Amino acid sequence: MRLANKVALITGGASGIGRATALLFACEGAAVSVVDLDEVGGQAVAQMIVNEGGQAIFVPCDVSQAEDCQRAGQQTVEQLGGLDILFNNAGIIRRASVLETSEEEWDWVMAVNVKSIFLLSKYAIPIMAQAGGGVIINTASGWGLVGGRKAAAYCASKGAVVLLTKAMALDHGEQNIRVNCICPGDTDTPMLRHEARQLGESDERCLAEAAERPLQRIGTPEDIAQAALYLASDASSFVTGTALVVDGGGLAG
């Protein structure tokens, strides 16, 4: 029960990495606020936690909108009693070069992947500071550290997440708020399969290519959830401002 008596807000919690992390955090004792646009999926995750004896709520939210983000934070505090862990995990991808990306698509990727972190953190940090500290975890990407083909907006957004994480760690360490990000490699999620369709590839080919790394397999949502648990727990009490690569060795050489 490494997160006993903690309250965690997880964006993108209805599927993929967010879903796996919500279930794991609940198993480790946290009360979980599942935040997502997908009401059916989000409600299902929250209900699974409640059915297992845990505490969870679902909050519908467009993370690119300030009013929604503030409401998600308020509802979490009001219904679960606080906010100790913020996992800014919601994200989207547009597989295209600069020439192929429209202005609307660029703005959309930046709003969901970067602006959402700014908005939710802006609301959460004062709550955490008043309570004596907290943890913020952001989902970046291996492509936030190195470039990738046909992913200009996505790479730009995830690079921004890495440096926003470091800036926030510097600004809020004195308040005992640790801020880190996870840089996953290819992970078997609905977003990866959507990415394959954007590229005109079959799911099978995309998954096979994703497994071409030293550990010879694709990542699972549970792999990334375990990294989030480490960063959320006291096991990482002296870790802040870091970009934790979890990619099966894909960036090793």
Most distant pair of Cα atoms in the chain: their distance: 51
The reply to whether 154 belongs to the active site is: yes
The CA dihedral of 107, 125, 68, 161, to the nearest 10 degrees, is 20
Name the catalytic one among 25, 58, 143, 154: 154
Q: How many CB atoms lie within 10 A of CB 169?
A: 19
∠ Cα 242 243 249 (to 5°): 135
Classify residue 176 as left (phi > 0), alpha (psi -120 to 50) or beta.
Answer: left
Q: Give the span between the Cα atoms of 125 and 131, in whole angstroms.
A: 10
Q: Which two tokens stand for residue 167?
A: 């800036």
Q: Give the span between the Cα atoms of 6 and 30, in whole angstroms.
A: 5
The dihedral sign for the CA sequence 186, 23, 4, 178: positive
Give catalytic residues, as residue numbers. 154
